[in-house]
Amino acid sequence: IGFPTANVALGEHLRPRFGVYAVRVLVEGEADDPKNWRTGVANLGRRPTFGKLQENFEVHLFDFAGDLYGEHARVQFTHFLRSERKFDGIDALIGQLKNDIDHARTVLMG
């Protein structure tokens, strides 16, 4: 739908509340230095707009055009933005995603 995401395998974990989060991400192999942490927005949930039932975790990194397939990353939840909800259609979802991205950029960049 126009927002490239890294789909993250969840495995065993202590699950936070379903919803949208502002996040920071460090790709494995990069030094744990503040300049290497990337910013983004993540969704943890079941994607009810698409009728999905399986829990899913997707991360959209801001201003990133690389390839993360097969890579491992550490994701830090920094701010809870909103609860997961079902939208009336794809256009409404895309509009909300744009708002989520703006909100995440604001809270992450100060």
Q: Do residues 6 and 68 lie in contact, with contact meaning Cβ atoms separated by under 8 Å?
A: yes
Q: Is 6 strand, coil or helix?
A: strand
Q: What integer pLDDT is reported at residue 12 of this predicted model? A: 74
Q: How many CB atoms lie within 10 A of CB 19?
A: 16
Task: Give residue 103's pLDDT band: very low, low, confident or very high (50, 70, 90).
Answer: very high
Task: Give residue 110's pLDDT band: very low, low, confident or very high (50, 70, 90).
Answer: confident
Of the candidate ranges 4-8, 42-46, 103-107, the one whose mean pLDDT is the lowest: 4-8
pLDDT digit string, tens, across residues 36-89:
999 999 999 998 998 877 888 999 999 998 888 888 899 999 999 999 999 999
Q: What integer pLDDT is reported at residue 1 of this predicted model? A: 72
Of 96, 78, 75, 74, nearest to 87 (Cα)? 96
Beta-sheet strands, E only, within 3-97: 6-7, 19-27, 38-45, 56-61, 73-83
Of 32, 1, 15, 26, nearest to 100 (Cα)? 1
